[in-house]
Amino acid sequence: MNVDLSVRLGRLTLNNPVLVASGTFGYVREMTRFLDVSRLGGVIPKTVTAQPRAGNPTPRTVETASGLLNAIGLDNDGIDHFLQHHLPYLRTLGTPIIANIAGENEDQFVSMAAQLAAETGLAAVELNVSCPNVSHGLDMGIDPTAVERLVGRVREACPYPIIAKLTPNVTDIVTIARAAASGGADAVSLVNTFRGMAIDWRKRRPILANDVGGLSGPAIKPLALRMVWEVARALPKCPIIGIGGIWTADDAMEFLVAGASAIQVGTATFADPGASARLLDSLPEKIASLGAGSVREIVGTLRSNRG
Amino acid sequence: MSEALAPACAAQRTVTILANEPVAKDTYKITLDDPMLASQITPGQFVMVRAGLGNDPLLGRPFALFDVVRDSTGTPVAVELVYLVLGRGTAELSRKRAGEPLPIWGPLGNGFSGPPVDGGDVGFVAGGIGFTPFLALGKWWRGTASYGAQGQHTGSLVSLARLYYGARSANLFAGLNDFAHAGLDVRTATDDGSLGHHGFVTDLLKADLQAGWRPSKLVGCGPAPMLKVLAGIAHQYQIPCDLSLENHMACGFGACFSCVTPIREPDGTTDLKRVCVEGPVFDSRCVVF
């Protein structure tokens, strides 16, 4: 089956649209037992922060109906460790590396982006302006003015393509996506987790040590699809990376026709470590079944029932 | 640090259930047709099992190796796991029948190390479903079975393996015949006095140590309060002790960072370690309770 899987997201070109979401793929080395990561369109290692962070106490995750609620709290060893220890390994994998960073404020984002700018071998930088589990950083992702200024400053500091990963915990996702695009984002990743909670009523306690967390997994796919579709309709020139409950090639096709140019497999990896590779295997046949010869031909081809 | 990884032979497969039978109250033994896993897995390692092909329940559940099944020529052909029905995932698993497919990935984690260098006696302390790793470990250390690529181990065999096995009530005990058949010396305790000692399982160990018994190694698996008492006993009598932790996991291979636990480093500092890839077996002196 000769289907062209390559996609373009602003200045970023990928061999195929299948990425894996930050925080669900470790630092990639954890995954090499289960799939050939070089086949993927790209990989996004776990979020790094300016300083090491211990993360939240346990329990950090709890399973809910077809979903996973997490409050890991950006447990990581900091960007210096990432650059010294993980990046040299990631460069050897033969797949595009999209570093994901989170700052506690704008200046931290910018200085981390400048550190990445001095490194070779990255394909792009994804800005996590949307982690629901840390006390700082979240507020930025819900303020369009702050998002636009942040993306603009990061672009000045870093020559790599910039992706803004947005929170769905806003009244109007289009406003935030538009701000990211105005700031110069090459693409927006839609969406990070939905704030939620799980409760043990017998103990009258939340189950997570952090009380609340971010919901991911198949449960959120309809919510994410709606947001991708809204942004795609309002901002047809803004490349979108769809995230939210994607497990199979059918899930991926739904996001692509809704308007995403690429997708990220996230929580499915925990339940099915080889999910992203199998999704990629099945994708050409799904695309061909629509009579298309490339991913690009099907992106955003959804037609409304309302005319 | 993040160098720790799942074992090189870890793999994801859909296997066929050979049997799934109750062995005690709310407790089942499931047998999986997987000669590859059976030839690789070692005592103390675990397997992630997803209770079906759908997405609810979503995640796998980690279960320790109970034992490996061998054919008449001694070739490993299947893996036995024993699990307690605690929530939706294990309830769904308990309804599976022989012949049904089951998604699994493993072997995972670092198993137990070999028997104590000088042989001697060893003491195993199990609380509740934490008994599951000790059948295979007992067989291995007593030299009656070998696991994985270890072949015949090089250390001295242990002369006596004594299992202190505690549970809430008599109807929760499983595998007692298996343990006896494997030559383990089993001492039981229950919270309600319905079998064996009425009280903590660690009381039994304490009494034996006070009477002068000196095992060369202690190993524990069970609830954190029991492990904490065991670690204290091991420290008091200066006996090396390994603990197998059972922290809540989402993935089992180091990607999700759910199962972290504070571990004391040689320099005295404490670091959060992922139980799935850096454990589940830790030296009791390093575990911070």
Alpha helices in B192-237 (DSSP H): 201-210, 224-237
Please determine, for residue B76, whether its predicted confidence score (pLDDT) is greater than 90: yes
Which residue type is seen at A66? S
**E strands present in A37-183:** 42-43, 48-49, 61-64, 67-70, 98-102, 124-128, 162-165
Active site residue A238: no
Looking at residue A192, what is its pLDDT?
A: 96
Yes or no, beta carbons of B55 and A273 under 8 Å apart: no
Q: Are B272 and A29 in contact (CB < 8 Å)?
A: no
Q: Is the pLDDT of residue B126 over 60?
A: yes
Average pLDDT over residues B38-47: 97
Separation in Å, CA of A114 to nearest CA in chain B = 24
Per-residue pLDDT at A140: 82
Helices (H) and strands (E) in chain A, counts: 10, 17
Per-residue pLDDT at B152 exceeds 70: no
> Is A273 an interface residue toward B (CB < 8 Å)?
yes
CA atoms of A138 and A134, how far apart (whole Å): 7
According to the model, what pLDDT value does residue A119 have? 97
**What was the pLDDT predicted at A244?**
98
Can you tell me the mean pLDDT for A32-47?
98
> So what's the pLDDT on residue B149?
79
Q: Which domains does chain B have, with CATH numbers?
A: 6-108 (2.40.30.10), 122-283 (3.40.50.80)
Residue type (1 letter), A105: N
How many Cβ atoms sit within 10 Å of the Cβ of residue A201?
6
Counting residues of chain A whose pLDDT is more than 90, the rounded percentage is 94
Q: Tell which residue, B117, B110, B182, has the closest CA to residue B145.
A: B182
Lowest mean pLDDT among A133-142, A201-210, B20-29, B93-102: A133-142
Picking from A25, A61, A269 by the largest number of B CB atoms within 10 A of its own CB, the best residue to mutate is A61
Distance between terminal CA atoms of chain B?
A: 21
> Which of A237, A133, A250 has its CA nearest to residue A186?
A237
The yes-or-no verdict on residue A137 having pLDDT over 60 is no
Helix (H) or strand (E) holding B101: strand B101-108
Q: CA of A75: which chain B residue's CA is closest? A: B257
Write out chain A residues lying below 8 Å of B107, CB-based: none
pLDDT in tens, B228-259: 999 999 999 999 999 999 999 999 999 999 99
Write out pLDDT tens, residues A183-233: 999 999 999 999 999 999 999 999 999 999 999 999 999 999 999 999 999
| pLDDT, position B1 | 46
Residue A27 forms contact with B (CB below 8 Å): yes
Q: What is the pLDDT of residue A232?
A: 98
Is A202 touching B (CB cutoff 8 A)? Answer: no
Residue pair A219/A267 in contact by the 8 Å Cβ criterion: no
Q: Do A70 and B10 touch (CB under 8 A)?
A: no
Residue of B nearest to A74 (CA): B257
Q: Which residue of B has its CA nearest to A25?
A: B255
Q: Which one from A12, A20, A116, A131 is the annotated catalytic residue?
A: A131
How does residue A138 score in pLDDT terms, banded at 50, 70 and 90?
low
**Domain made up of A7-57+73-199+217-297: CATH architecture:** Alpha-Beta Barrel (3.20)
Which residues lie closer than 8 Å to B262 by C-beta, 6 or more apart? B270, B271, B272, B273, B288
Note whether A61 contacts B250, CB cutoff 8 Å. yes
- Are B254 and A33 inside 8 Å of each other by CB? no
B156 has a pLDDT exceeding 80: no
pLDDT digits 0-9 by tens, A250-260: 999 999 999 99
Compute the distance between CA of residue B252 and CA of residue B258 in angstroms, rounded to an integer: 9
Closest alpha carbon to B158 in B142, B174, B176: B142
Is B153 a residue whose pLDDT tops 70? Answer: no
Query: Hey, where are the domains in chain A?
Result: 7-57+73-199+217-297
CA distance linking residue B139 with residue B145, whole number of Å: 5
Whether residue B38 is predicted with pLDDT greater than 80 in this model: the reply is: yes
Gap between the Cα atoms of B13 and B34, Å rounded:
9
- Binning chain A into helix, strand and coil, the percentages to the nearest 5 are 35, 20, 45
Q: Span A150-159, mean pLDDT?
A: 98
